[in-house]
Structure 1
Amino acid sequence: MLARLSTVYALCASLVAAADVAAPIVKLDSATVTGKASGSVQEFLGIPFAQPPVGYLRFQLPQPVPAYNGSITATAFRPACPQQALKLPILTGLPAEIANNLVNGVYSAMTPSSEDCLSINVVKPASATSTSKLPVVVWIFGGGFQVGGTSTYDGSGVVSRSIDMGQPIVFVSMNYRVTGFGFLASKEVKAAGVGNLGLQDQRQALHWVQKYIPAFGGDPARVTIWGESAGAVSASLHMIANDGNIEGLFRGAIMESGAPIPVGDIENGQIYYDAIVKDTGCSGSADTLQCLREVSFDKLKAAIDATPSIFGYQSLRLAWAPRADGKFLTDNPQRLVQNGKIAKIPYITGNCDDEGTLFSFSTLNLTTDGQFREYIKTVFLPGVTDDQANQLTDLYPADIIQGSPFGTGILNAITPQFKRIAAVQGDGVFQAPRRWLLQNTSGKQNIWVFLSKRFKGIPLLGSLHGSDLINSFFLGQEFQDYVIRFTNDLDPNEFRDYVIRFTNNLDPNGNGLFDLQWPKYTTANPKQLVFLDGLIPLTIQDDTYRKDQMNFRSADTLQCLREVSFDKLKAAIDATPSIFGYQSLRLAWAPRADGKFLTDNPQRLVQNGKIAKIPYITGNCDDEGTLFSFSTLNLTTDGQFREYIKTVFLPGVTDDQANQLTDLYPADIIQGSPFGTGILNAVTPQFKRIAAVQGDGVFQAPRRWLLQNTSGKQNIWVFLSKRFKAIPLLGSLHASDLINSFFLGQELRDYVIRFTNNLDPNGNGLFDFQWPKYTTANPKQLVFLDGLIPLTIQDDTYRKDQMDFLTQLTLAVPA
C-alpha cells in the first residue's frame, strides 16, 4: 500500500512539474512535432515513419511517408502491429481455452495493436539541438517475430543514464510488422518480391533515422542498432542483408540473444501460406496474395492465429520468421556469413545461460529417450538422419545434471526430458548460431561477447531468455553503461588520419578506476564478460562451454575438409557414385548453380538470353549414351526401365511424365542406340533403350535447346559424327569424334583450325567441303560418316519430339 501511495505522490509531483515545462517541439519537413518533457530527457512518440500498411498496402513493402506537414502530437506510443495469439503450452481442452482467452485479453489491453502501426519513437537529451550530432542507438524489440511492440521498452532510462555519464545519446525504437502480417512466406510472396516485410519495415525506419534524426540532435553517421531475441536476429540480418551492404545506415551492432539463424528459402513457408489462404476462403482466387490483401482483418487475423505459435509444440521451429527471399536475404544467413557477405563493423553479442527453458514447457509430454529423438527428427530438426539424431542424443544425454537450467544439479527436472530439451533448444537456436557468427568474423572486426548468468534462482527457468533485458531496461546499470559507451565512442582506427578525424573509439570499455575491462573476443582468445548474481557481479571467462555440442550444431564442415589429410579426403570422395556406376550420368560431381559464377539453371540462363553472343561450333556423336549404359544391364523389363527413369535418371518426374517418356522411347530394339543397327547390339532387352535416353537426355537435347535459343543471334555450325558405327555394342560412342581431332582423319581438325583463325570453319580450297551455318529455319549439320563418302549435309531434326520433351523435363527437374 505504501508503495502505491508513493507512486501516486510521485505521479502528482511529476504532473505539477510538467505544467511548468514547455512541451518540446521539433520541425520535420513542414510539420511541427510536439513531444513531452520528462526531467533531463524529451520524448517524441508514435511518429509515423511509413504509410499505414492497410488496404492495398497490406503485404506490400513499406512506403515512405510523404513530406510531413501540419501539426503532429507525439506524446504517446502508437499501437503495436497485429500480434499472434498466445497459446499456453501446459493446459488443454476447455481450461486451455479459458486461460488463453484470459491471457490474450490481458496482453491485448497491455499492448494495443492495429494494422496502422508503423511508428517510430525518439528519446533525446533535453539539451540536444539540431547541431548536437549525438550518437544514436536504434532499439529493435524481440518477440519471436510473432509479438512485440515498442511501448514495453522505455528508452528514457537509457538516455538519462547516458547524460549522467557525460556521454549523451539519442534512443530510437520502431514498430514493425510481425507474425503472418510481417513474415508471410510462399512462392507467391517470392514472385511478388514482398518477403520479410518485418525486416523491410525496420530498414525503412533506419532510412528515416538517416533523414530525420538531425532534427532531434542525433548524428546519422553514428548509428548503432541494438536488439534482443528476434530483434537481435534482425540486427544480425541487417548486417548481411543485400549481401552485407548496410547502405551507411549504421556502423555498430549490439545483439542480445540472437544471431543469424539457419533459415531456408522463403518458399519453405508455403504450408502456412496455403493454410491461411484456405481459412480465409481465398483458395479459389486467381491471385491468392491479392485476395489476402482484400479479406477482412478479423478473418485474416483468425487464420494467422490458427498457425503454430512460439509456445506451441513446435516452439522455436518458427512458423513466422525471416527466410531467404533472393533479394533482401539472398541465401541462408549462415551461408552468407560463411561466405563473408556480412558488414565488417564492430559488434557486441551474447546470450543468457538458459535460453531454452522458456520454450520447453510445450514438450512436457516427452519423457523417454525415444520420444526425445523422435521430436528432434520430426519437429526440431526435420531432415536430420538417424545417425545425426543419435549423435545429438549422445551429445545431450538424459542426465538431468547436464541439462538446463545449467548448474542446478538435480533441481528443475520437471520431467525426465525437460532439462535436456531446454539445453538443445537454447544451444540450437541461440548459442550455436552466435558461435558460428564468431567463428566466421573473428579477426575481421572488433567483437565483444557476454553471457548473463543472472536470475539463476528462478525455478525451472534459471537465467532464462530475455532476463538480460532486466539489466538493460529495468534493473542494474552495468549493461546500460556498456551499451552507452559502445554507442558513444565510435572510432574505427583503420585509416589513420581519415579515420581519426572521422570518429572516436568503438569500444564498450570505460576508463574509470573501477570499470572492469571487457576484452575483445577472438577465436584464439575467446573471452567473454559474464554477468553473475551475488557479491561478484562481473567476471571474465572463456566462451568455450559445450564446445563439442555446439560444434556439432554449427560446425564449419568446409574448413574441416580443408584440414583433413589428402588420403582420407580422397577415400571419401572415391566412395561417392562414379560416372560408370548405377546412377551413371546422374552425376554426383558436376557444375551447379552457385548464385555467383552460375547464377541459375544454365538452360534457364540460355532461355533468358544470358549467354555470350559469339560464334560457336557444336555437335555430338550419334550414340552418346552407349558407353554409360553398361551399369544398368540388370534392367530388363518396362517396369524396371520406368522406375530407373523416375528414381535415378530424372528423380522428381511424375508418373505421367515417366509414362510419356516410356512411350517416346519404346522398348523396340530397332529404335534404340547404337542407332541404325537394327536388331544388333541388344545385349539386354532394355540396353539400347536406356542408351538412347541417356544419350539424348544428357548430350543431344541440351545441344538442341542451345541452338533453339541462340539461332539468329550468332553464327553457328553443327556436326554429327556417325563414324565407328561398327564397334560392337557401342557404335558411334561418346568421344569417338576425338579420333578425328587428335588421332586419325583430318576433317574436323582442319575445321577447328580454320575456325580458330577466322571464326569460320570453312576453307577456300577446291576440295574443301563447305559447312553451312545452322539456323532453326534451315537446321543443317555436317555429318561425318564411315566409308567412301566421309562427309555429307543433313537436317538436324532427328528424334525431335523426344528431345523437346526431355528438355521440358530437365527444365522442370534440373539435376
Structure 2
Amino acid sequence: MVVLFWSSPQFPMYDWVAQDQNVIAVSMNYRLHLFGFLDGLAVRADGTPNAGLLDQRAALLWIKRHISKFGGNPNDVTIAGESAGGASVVLQSTAWGGKSPVPFKRAIAQSIGLYPLPLDSEIEGVFNNVTTAAGCPASGSEAMRCLREAPLSTLIKSINNVRTNFLAPTIDGPNGFLPDLPSRLIAQGKFRHDVDLVAGHMTNDGRNFAGNPRNVKTDADIVTAILNRYRHMTNATLEKVLKLYPEASVPGSPFVDNYDRLAPISVKLTHSTTRDQHWANATRALGRKNVYAFRFNVPNPVTLAVNPWQGVMHASDVYYLFNGATGSTPFFAPFNTTQAPVAQEIMQYWTSFTRSGNPSKFKRSYSPAWPDYIGDRRIVMSEDIGGAEITQRASLRKFRFTNKNDAASG
C-alpha cells in the first residue's frame, strides 16, 4: 500500500490508484502554518513544536494498526510525496535522528522541497508577530492560553503577519522530532537505514521559482532571487555560487544569459534537488540494496503552454503520475500519443516499487529496466526511449557544494 503526502484527499487526481494498480492508497491531512509549526520558548514550555510532523506520524501509526481491515499489509507500507510532500518523506525518515522504528518499509521522495530552517532568533520573532497580530502577550504561559482561546478567524489573519516559509519545521532539540538539519542528519547516518528508497527530481526543477526571464539581467538580480528563498546564505557562499555558474562571457560557460544561469541555481539551491542524491548516496553507502534515483524529463504541457521558458518544471511528474492532473481547473487534460505511455510508465514504476521494492519487477514491457543506484546511475524518464545515465562530474561538484552549504547555513 502507499501513503500519500500530497495536497488534499478531495483532489480527484488521486483516483488513479483505484483503477488497476493493485495497491491501497491512503492520503492524510496534517496541520500547517501556526497550527502545525508554531515554535518558540512559550510553545516548548506549554505546547509541542513540529505538531504537523507529529500529525503525520500519528496518521502513519493509525494506518499500521488498522490497514489490515481494508485488505492492506501493515508491514508493507510505502510513503510517497512531492515537493513539501517529498520533504515530509525525508523528515519522517530522519525523525528522532533515526533512533525510532518507522511505520513504513519504503519511501518515494520527488523534488524534495526543504527550505532553510528558521534560526532561533527568527523563531521567537515569528512567535511575537503571531501573538501581536492575535492581540496576545508575547511570552509566558499567558501567551499560549490567549492563543488557544483566540477565535479561529483571528489566528488565520495572524498568519499574514509572518513571512512566507517561516512557519515551517524547526530543530526542536536533541530529543526532538527534528534534532538537527535533515541534510546533516543524513550525512551523519542519523536516519532509518532499513527503508527502500526512490528519489529524484525534474530536469528543470526550480525554474518556476526563478521568476520571469525579463527580470533577470544582472548578477544582482541573481543574488536577489537566491536570497528570497535561501536567506541565510553568506556573501562568501554567494560568490562561490556565481563562480560555479559563470556568466555567459566567461570562456567555457554553458550559459547564454543570466536567466539561463539562475535556472540551474534554483534547481540546485533554492529547491534543493540535490538532496535526493545526498540521501540515495548515504543510504547506499550503509548497505541498503533497494535504492533508486531518477530524473524526469517530460514537461507538464498545460504549464509549458503558458510559461515555455520553464521547461520540465517543478511537479511535471505529478501530471503524469496522476493520469493528467493539471493542478488547476480543469483538473485533467487529455494526453497525446507520446504522453500517454509516459503516464503508464511512471504509474507502473511507482506501483511496482510500492509492491516489491523493485520498480522494474512489474514495469511496462516497453520501459527500460531501472538500475540500482550504483556509481551515481539514475533512470531518465522521457517521451522517447528512456534509459540510465550517470551524473556528470561537474554536476557532482555542484551537488557536494550545495549539501555542504545547506548543512552549514540551515
Same fold (TM over 0.5): yes
Shift of 1:362: 8.1
CA distance in structure 2 between the aligned counterparts of 1:277 and 1:400, rounded to whole angstroms: 50
User: Pick from 481, 500, 507: which aligns with 2:358?
Assistant: 507
Q: Does the alignment pair 1:469 with 2:318?
A: yes
Partner of 1:455: 299
Partner of 2:166: 319
Partner of 2:331: none
Q: TM-score, normalised by structure 1?
A: 0.43
User: Pick from 143, 146, 162: which aligns with 1:291?
Assistant: 146
Q: Deviations over 1:495-534 (max 9, x none)?
A: xxxxxxxxxxx21112665441100102xx111111113x
Q: Does the alignment pair 1:399 with 2:248?
A: yes
Q: Deviations over 1:777-809 (max 9, x none)?
A: xxxxxxxxxxxxxxxxxxxxxxxxxxxxxxxxx
User: Pick from 437, 460, 468: which aligns with 2:279?
Assistant: 437
The letter for the 1-side match of 2:151 is S
The letter for the 2-side match of 1:421 is L
CA distance in structure 1 between the aligned counterparts of 2:231 and 2:184, rounded to whole angstroms: 19
Q: Structure 1 unaligned segments of length 5 or more: list them.
A: 1-135, 142-147, 163-167, 310-317, 402-406, 411-415, 490-505, 559-815
Partner of 2:202: 352
Partner of 2:351: 484
Q: How does 1:525-544 map to 2 (within 5 A)?
A: 525-533=375-383, 535-536=384-385, 538-544=386-392
Partner of 2:15: 156
Q: TM-score, normalised by structure 2?
A: 0.82
Shift of 1:289: 2.5
CA distance in structure 2 between the aligned counterparts of 1:526 and 1:239, rounded to whole angstroms: 22
CA distance in structure 2 between the aligned counterparts of 1:532 and 1:554, rounded to whole angstroms: 27
More helix as a share of residues: 2
CA distance in structure 2 between the aligned counterparts of 1:463 and 1:300, rounded to whole angstroms: 38
Shift of 1:271: 2.2
Q: Structure 2 unaligned segments of length 5 or more: list them.
A: 325-342
Q: How does 1:226-265 map to 2 (within 5 A)?
A: 226-258=80-112, 263=117
Shift of 1:209: 0.3
Q: Does the alignment pair 1:369 with 2:219?
A: yes
CA distance in structure 2 between the aligned counterparts of 1:253 and 1:137, rounded to whole angstroms: 9
Partner of 1:774: none
User: Pick from 379, 391, 399: which aligns with 1:550?
Assistant: 399
Partner of 2:264: 423
Partner of 2:333: none
SS in 1 for 2:186: helix
Higher relative contact order at CA 8 Å, sep ≥6: structure 1 or structure 2? Answer: 2
CA distance in structure 1 between the aligned counterparts of 2:9 and 2:103, rounded to whole angstroms: 20
Relative to structure 1, the CA distance from residue 296 to residue 254 in structure 2 (aligned partners, 3 Å threshold; closer, same or farther) is same
SS in 2 for 1:478: helix
Relative to structure 1, the CA distance from residue 231 to residue 246 in structure 2 (aligned partners, 3 Å threshold; closer, same or farther) is farther
SS in 2 for 1:227: strand
Relative to structure 1, the CA distance from residue 137 to residue 375 in structure 2 (aligned partners, 3 Å threshold; closer, same or farther) is closer
The count of residues paired between Structure 1 and Structure 2 equals 373
SS in 2 for 1:448: strand
Q: Does the alignment pair 1:200 with 2:54?
A: yes
Q: Deviations over 1:536-593 (max 9, x none)?
A: 3x221113362222222114999xxxxxxxxxxxxxxxxxxxxxxxxxxxxxxxxxxx
Partner of 2:336: none
The letter for the 1-side match of 2:368 is L
Relative to structure 1, the CA distance from residue 366 to residue 437 in structure 2 (aligned partners, 3 Å threshold; closer, same or farther) is same
Shift of 1:418: 3.6
CA distance in structure 2 between the aligned counterparts of 1:340 and 1:195, rounded to whole angstroms: 24
Relative to structure 1, the CA distance from residue 439 to residue 259 in structure 2 (aligned partners, 3 Å threshold; closer, same or farther) is farther
Shift of 1:349: 0.3
Q: Does the alignment pair 1:172 with 2:13?
A: no
Relative to structure 1, the CA distance from residue 557 to residue 240 in structure 2 (aligned partners, 3 Å threshold; closer, same or farther) is closer
Relative to structure 1, the CA distance from residue 272 to residue 363 in structure 2 (aligned partners, 3 Å threshold; closer, same or farther) is farther
Relative to structure 1, the CA distance from residue 248 to residue 368 in structure 2 (aligned partners, 3 Å threshold; closer, same or farther) is closer
Partner of 2:160: 305
CA distance in structure 1 between the aligned counterparts of 2:117 and 2:181, rounded to whole angstroms: 6
Partner of 1:655: none
Shift of 1:480: 1.0
Shift of 1:230: 0.6
- Work out whether residues 237 and 260 of structure 1, in 8 Å CA contact, stay in contact via their aligned partners in 2: no
SS in 1 for 2:285: coil
SS in 2 for 1:151: coil
CA distance in structure 2 between the aligned counterparts of 1:301 and 1:448, rounded to whole angstroms: 41
Q: Does the alignment pair 1:276 with 2:118?
A: no
The letter for the 2-side match of 1:423 is P
SS in 1 for 2:2: strand
Shift of 1:239: 0.6
CA distance in structure 1 between the aligned counterparts of 2:283 and 2:292, rounded to whole angstroms: 12
CA distance in structure 2 between the aligned counterparts of 1:177 and 1:237, rounded to whole angstroms: 15
Shift of 1:181: 2.0
Relative to structure 1, the CA distance from residue 273 to residue 555 in structure 2 (aligned partners, 3 Å threshold; closer, same or farther) is same
- Work out whether residues 400 and 419 of structure 1, in 8 Å CA contact, stay in contact via their aligned partners in 2: no
Q: How does 1:50-61 map to 2 (within 5 A)?
A: none
Partner of 2:328: none
Shift of 1:460: 2.1
- Work out whether residues 357 and 426 of structure 1, in 8 Å CA contact, stay in contact via their aligned partners in 2: yes
CA distance in structure 2 between the aligned counterparts of 1:464 and 1:355, rounded to whole angstroms: 5
Q: How does 1:577-726 map to 2 (within 5 A)?
A: none
Relative to structure 1, the CA distance from residue 251 to residue 259 in structure 2 (aligned partners, 3 Å threshold; closer, same or farther) is farther
- Work out whether residues 367 and 417 of structure 1, in 8 Å CA contact, stay in contact via their aligned partners in 2: yes
CA distance in structure 2 between the aligned counterparts of 1:266 and 1:480, rounded to whole angstroms: 42
CA distance in structure 2 between the aligned counterparts of 1:173 and 1:301, rounded to whole angstroms: 24
CA distance in structure 1 between the aligned counterparts of 2:208 and 2:295, rounded to whole angstroms: 17
CA distance in structure 2 between the aligned counterparts of 1:367 and 1:170, rounded to whole angstroms: 49
SS in 1 for 2:20: helix
Q: Does the alignment pair 1:520 with 2:372?
A: yes
- Work out whether residues 186 and 270 of structure 1, in 8 Å CA contact, stay in contact via their aligned partners in 2: yes
CA distance in structure 1 between the aligned counterparts of 2:245 and 2:12, rounded to whole angstroms: 36
The letter for the 1-side match of 2:18 is V
CA distance in structure 1 between the aligned counterparts of 2:120 and 2:60, rounded to whole angstroms: 24
